[in-house]
Homo-oligomer: A and B are copies of this chain.
């Protein structure tokens, strides 16, 4: 009997927990789900699991130690900043650990100790990071294994609303953390490499430097650049690749309209707006426009942003209600970003029956052995979710984590250390099993006229 401890049963955990319970008897697993809100967890996970749920405060050291002592492997689904304390416990108590999150500096620094203790700490095992690593590395390794050279690598992921639930002019709804969407792209210029040259995009131009991407059966998307492309050069062993670019997917037209919020200053999270507790949508918008005793907020915005009154951007802004006299309703002074988020949540929240969609797309240019002109390969994955809580996000985050746990517990993966799934021992079995759950990539060599537009 092996004991699995799952810490945190939030909205991304249902597929993870279902998978583990389904396989529990076959593999001899005993599962404990520890969560700060056990009643909510019971409601989410259903009766079959109910007895395995225990109330738990992740910041309470002694009770964390007690639970971890009793298990063989810990799966931490806590917010990323809470993984470190769990990891320290696992190291001290000699337990394996799996998280879906980015490897933090602190986690990375434990590497030699983890190895010395013969432990396995697996990270970045969700969808992004996670499935992006696995699918990219599989493509890249295939090229290198057949003697080819990668000359260009692009990778885009987006969490979107499914086509059947898409009923607004933005073709977008919040399917994950709204705050991350509002703050996207902030914190420094985007840096990437194109044909060997380093290129830079400042925040104020980020949403106007998009790439149009076509995904078979799903139509056109646009991608804006992520800040971290250059980090992936080392990670994916692409140090000499002349072009490397990572980005986030939206439906075409989103970025041009979002850029208005950026230009107006509405996404700023660095200061609290005075007297904003009882502000209306319209007053919020007007705070970023010049004073005039008679001109309308609409006309001032259109003039300031050089928008035609019949533009699709104005239609999108109108639909969101940014000109409405309705109170924002936060009830306390807040930053522009917090107020904008609240306004967006009124329109962009998923309805109970809505489905989400995860879209991932990679593009590779290669120079194959013995050839003199480049080939282009595209690979795409689209996962449509079910209504909450069985979202595509929960599925694509939870299943790889669960499958990684199985690899560790069965001894199929046994290399000690702090890992992410960029090695075949991890990505091959997980990608293969994900296919049986309908999470698969369509790869093809691409030679059409409609080549993706350059950034």
Give chain A's interface residues, CB within 8 Å of chain B: 188-189, 191, 194-195, 197-205, 209, 243, 262-265, 268, 270-271, 273-275, 286-293, 304, 336, 454-455
* 6 further interface pairs, Cβ-Cβ under 8 Å (given A189-B270, A205-B304, A291-B454): A191-B274, A194-B291, A195-B291, A195-B293, A197-B291, A205-B263
B291 and A204: CB pair below 8 A?
no
Instruction: Tell me, rounded to whole Å, the shortest Cβ–Cβ distance linking A289 to chain B.
Output: 8
How often does this chain occur in the complex, in copies?
2
A292 and B262: CB pair below 8 A?
no
B263 and A204: CB pair below 8 A?
yes
A336 and B290: CB pair below 8 A?
no
CA distance A110 to B287 in the complex (A): 38
10 shortest interchain CB distances as A-B pairs: A202-B265, A204-B204, A194-B291, A198-B274, A195-B291, A200-B265, A189-B265, A188-B270, A200-B288, A189-B268
Q: Which residues of B contact A268 (CB under 8 A)?
A: 189, 200, 202
A263 and B209: CB pair below 8 A?
no
Q: Which residues of B contact A336 (CB under 8 A)?
A: 200
Q: Which residues of B contact A191 (CB under 8 A)?
A: 271, 274
Instruction: Tell me, rounded to whole Å, the shortest Cβ–Cβ distance linking A388 to chain B.
Output: 35
B198 and A287: CB pair below 8 A?
yes
Instruction: For A275, give its contact among B198, B264, B270 (CB under 8 Å).
Output: B198
Instruction: For A290, give its contact among B204, B209, B265 (CB under 8 Å).
Output: B209
Q: Which residues of B contact A273 (CB under 8 A)?
A: 198, 200
**25 A-B contacts (beta carbon < 8 Å):** A188-B271, A189-B268, A189-B271, A191-B274, A194-B290, A194-B291, A195-B291, A197-B286, A198-B273, A199-B288, A199-B289, A199-B291, A200-B287, A200-B288, A200-B336, A201-B265, A201-B288, A202-B263, A202-B288, A204-B204, A204-B262, A204-B263, A204-B265, A205-B264, A205-B265
CA distance A304 to B209 in the complex (A): 9
CA distance A286 to B191 in the complex (A): 13
* Beta-carbon nearest neighbor of A455 in chain B: B290
Q: Which residues of B contact A198 (CB under 8 A)?
A: 273-275, 287
Q: Which residues of B contact A199 (CB under 8 A)?
A: 287-291
CA distance A270 to B454 in the complex (A): 26
* Beta-carbon nearest neighbor of A276 in chain B: B198
Instruction: Tell me, rounded to whole Å, the shortest Cβ–Cβ distance linking A210 to chain B.
Output: 11
Q: Which residues of B contact A270 (CB under 8 A)?
A: 188-189
* Beta-carbon nearest neighbor of A270 in chain B: B188
Instruction: Tell me, rounded to whole Å, the shortest Cβ–Cβ distance linking A89 to chain B.
Output: 36
CA distance A203 to B262 in the complex (A): 10
Q: Which residues of B contact A203 (CB under 8 A)?
A: 204
* Beta-carbon nearest neighbor of A243 in chain B: B291
Residue from A197, A201, A202, A292 whose CB has the most chain B CB atoms within 10 Å: A202
CA distance A313 to B145 in the complex (A): 52
CA distance A217 to B262 in the complex (A): 40
CA distance A194 to B274 in the complex (A): 13
Instruction: Tell me, rounded to whole Å, the shortest Cβ–Cβ distance linking A193 to chain B.
Output: 9
Q: Which residues of B contact A265 (CB under 8 A)?
A: 189, 200-202, 204-205
CA distance A298 to B2 in the complex (A): 66
CA distance A278 to B330 in the complex (A): 52
Q: Which residues of B contact A275 (CB under 8 A)?
A: 198
Instruction: Tell me, rounded to whole Å, the shortest Cβ–Cβ distance linking A209 to chain B.
Output: 7
Q: Which residues of B contact A263 (CB under 8 A)?
A: 202, 204-205
Residue from A209, A263, A268, A291 whose CB has the most chain B CB atoms within 10 Å: A291
